[in-house]
């Protein structure tokens, strides 16, 4: 199984999952434009917003971002995502949560 890369496409997929409940059409439109520029299809965007992916490793990465815990990290590592990538995904998720809290304050 190929190694997982937390590249721009994976980061955006995770962001789509983390911000799916945000009711800001301008923000959502910007995300869709960015996703299309990275070659993502409408179905891939929808899957990410629903917390999943057609790609097994990316789906595992999204699960780690949405609910960072030992169980999800262990599953992700079994899917070929290394411990450093899990930590990076958790940091990415935490930064989105922190930005959301700052916006609502």
Sign of CA dihedral 35, 29, 99, 55: negative
Give the pLDDT confidence of 29-50 residue by residue, as tens digits.
999 999 999 999 999 999 999 9
pTM score, whole prediction? 0.88
pLDDT range class, residue 59, cuts 50, 70, 90: very high
Rounded Cα gap, residues 74 and 86, in angstroms:
9
Average pLDDT, the chain: 90
């Amino acid at each position: 199984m190929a190694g997982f890369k937390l590249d721009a496409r994976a980061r955006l997929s995770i962001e789509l999952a983390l911000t799916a409940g945000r009711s800001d059409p301008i923000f959502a439109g910007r995300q869709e434009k960015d996703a299309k520029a990275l070659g993502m299809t409408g179905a891939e965007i929808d899957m990410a917003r629903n917390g999943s992916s057609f790609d097994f490793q990316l789906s595992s990465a999204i699960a780690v971002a949405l609910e960072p815990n030992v169980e999800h990290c262990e599953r992700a590592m079994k899917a070929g995502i290394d411990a450093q990538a899990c930590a990076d995904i958790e940091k990415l998720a935490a930064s989105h949560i922190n930005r959301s809290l700052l916006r609502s304050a």
